[in-house]
Amino acid sequence: MSVSRTMEDSCELDLVYVTERIIAVSFPSTTNEESFRSNLREVAQMLKSKHGGNYLLFNLSERRPDITKLHAKVLEFGWPDLHTPALEKICSVCKAVDTWLNADPHNVVVLHNKGNRGRIGVVIAAYMHYSNISASANQALDRFAMKRFYEDKIVPIGQPSQRRYVHYFSGLLSGSIKMNNKPLFLHHVIMHGIPNFESKGGCRPFLRIYQAMQPVYTSGIYNVQGDSQTSICITIEPGLLLKGDILLKCYHKKFRSPARDVIFRVQFHTCAIHDLGVVFGKEDLDDAFKDDRFPEYGKVEFVFSYGPEKIQGMEHLENGPSVSVDYNTSDPLIRWDSYDNFNGPRDDGMEGRWDQGLPAPLQTAQPLLTWPWLSWTPLIHLTSKMKEEKSVWGLLFSVG
């Protein structure tokens, strides 16, 4: 649904009424700052004239002062582009959307994103499943509209981990996924099929593992020739205890160059891991799923246990003599954490605001639980079907 001719003609802005009360506003990551600010002002004017004070903006990107200057009510739910948010954050944003929409029939939600639209897709898809359980049958048309938007606009550009987390959320809501609360220790990461990141084939992979977006492990750099190995095993001993939201990122360190490429990235939550051996095919790996350098038959296998002790009988996983390992992980290129400055300070260069004169509590973005209209009700009480799983959400929030 187009709102203004100027916006419709702008290649820098995508504004869509997903439903009558859910609006998606997205800017490409390549949008220059001047154009972004200009369009941001225009969106703010349109929303104010059309919805007055009845819209709440959910910022899914990094924090920016210019967003809070232009909009009266903002909730910050941002996470890095092309990634999936923490499972707890998906729960919180769905509850916040539902609470705001139910507070007043004129209230609307604005989902704001700068970058890949996959972030908006995660929220739309998750809320579609949430409302399927919590909302009345007369909202079926809205759920159909959300489904159509997700399938038409998001699926072609989304990342596998984003779809995985929507599946987790849907399964936990419906009860089809049971919570695993056992500790998991990661011992081996096996890459079956060697990606070709060097001119003569092969690659120089190393791993970075994050828990709740904090780095917890960095491997050595493995030197693998393309024609010498059919797989490569990175062993972690003693096993690495993992719980909650996990991001594993595999890089290729370029030969004789101070640069690195992402080979694959994968995010998962330990609450949904029930097998001690988990395999992700190429289609399940972020970045790799559309990279020709990663073989079509390639896959990544994770070997877990319930304790840190070395798993016996796994000698067959040892790499051949042609694989060398450089354990010099003090190299800044290896240690660099690309998530450190996600919400760092930004000088946006904007002056003034469109919403002068509002009550002080509404003039700046605030933490979720400080909003007076947002009283947290555990999701578990939404339906009797979920009551039999009443420990699920407490476990989820305790391990995240």
- Domain span at residue 145 reads 14-174
Residues 131 and 279 in one domain: no
- What is residue 38's predicted lDDT score, i.e. its pLDDT? 92
d(CA 354, CA 69): 7
With cut-offs at 50, 70 and 90, classify the pLDDT of residue 389.
very low
- Which of 174, 198, 228 represents a domain boundary (last residue)? 174
% of the chain surpassing 70 pLDDT: 80
- Which of 334, 366, 382 represents a domain boundary (last residue)? 334
| Region 158-169 average pLDDT | 95
pLDDT at 387 over 90: no
Sheet containing 184-192: give its strands across. 231-242, 184-192, 299-305, 277-281
Over the chain, what is the mean pLDDT?
83
- Which of 292, 313, 334 represents a domain boundary (last residue)? 334
Write out pLDDT tens, residues 276-312.
999 999 999 999 999 999 999 999 999 999 999 999 9
d(CA 182, CA 242): 10
Is residue 100 included in any domain, yes or no?
yes
pLDDT at 7 over 50: no
With cut-offs at 50, 70 and 90, classify the pLDDT of residue 203.
very high
More confidently predicted of 226 and 24: 24
Residues 228 and 308 in one domain: yes
More confidently predicted of 65 and 355: 65
Is residue 251 included in any domain, yes or no?
yes
- What is residue 325's predicted lDDT score, i.e. its pLDDT? 94
pLDDT at 348 over 70: no
| Region 340-345 average pLDDT | 64
Residues 115 and 208 in one domain: no
| Region 220-226 average pLDDT | 90
- What is residue 118's predicted lDDT score, i.e. its pLDDT? 94
| Region 41-57 average pLDDT | 96
| Region 313-340 average pLDDT | 85
With cut-offs at 50, 70 and 90, classify the pLDDT of residue 138.
low
| Token code pair at residue 157 | 């550009």
pLDDT at 334 over 70: yes
- What is residue 225's predicted lDDT score, i.e. its pLDDT? 84
- What is residue 329's predicted lDDT score, i.e. its pLDDT? 78
- What is residue 290's predicted lDDT score, i.e. its pLDDT? 96
| Region 184-193 average pLDDT | 97
- What is residue 5's predicted lDDT score, i.e. its pLDDT? 38
Does residue 129 contact residue 173 with C-beta atoms inside 8 Å? Answer: yes
| Region 95-106 average pLDDT | 94
Residues 160 and 253 in one domain: no
% of the chain surpassing 90 pLDDT: 60
CA distance from start to end of the chain? 37
Which residue in this structure is represented by tokens 């969106």?
43
Determine whether 227 is exposed, middle or buried from the number of CB atoms within 10 Å of its CB (0-12, 13-18, 19+). exposed
Residues 170 and 194 in one domain: no
d(CA 129, CA 177): 14
| Token code pair at residue 247 | 């991001």
- Supply the CATH number for residue 311's domain: 2.60.40.1110
More confidently predicted of 45 and 227: 45
* Helices and strands per DSSP (H, E), number in the chain: 10, 15
Write out pLDDT tens, residues 355-383.
332 233 333 333 343 344 443 343 444 33
| Region 86-93 average pLDDT | 95
Residues 24 and 169 in one domain: yes
- What is residue 134's predicted lDDT score, i.e. its pLDDT? 64
Is residue 366 included in any domain, yes or no?
no
Is residue 386 included in any domain, yes or no?
no
With cut-offs at 50, 70 and 90, classify the pLDDT of residue 121.
very high
pLDDT at 168 over 90: yes
d(CA 239, CA 68): 44
Residues 207 and 290 in one domain: yes
d(CA 236, CA 217): 9
For 6, the 3-state DSSP assignment is: helix
**Total domain count, the chain:** 2
| Region 14-38 average pLDDT | 93
Residues 167 and 216 in one domain: no
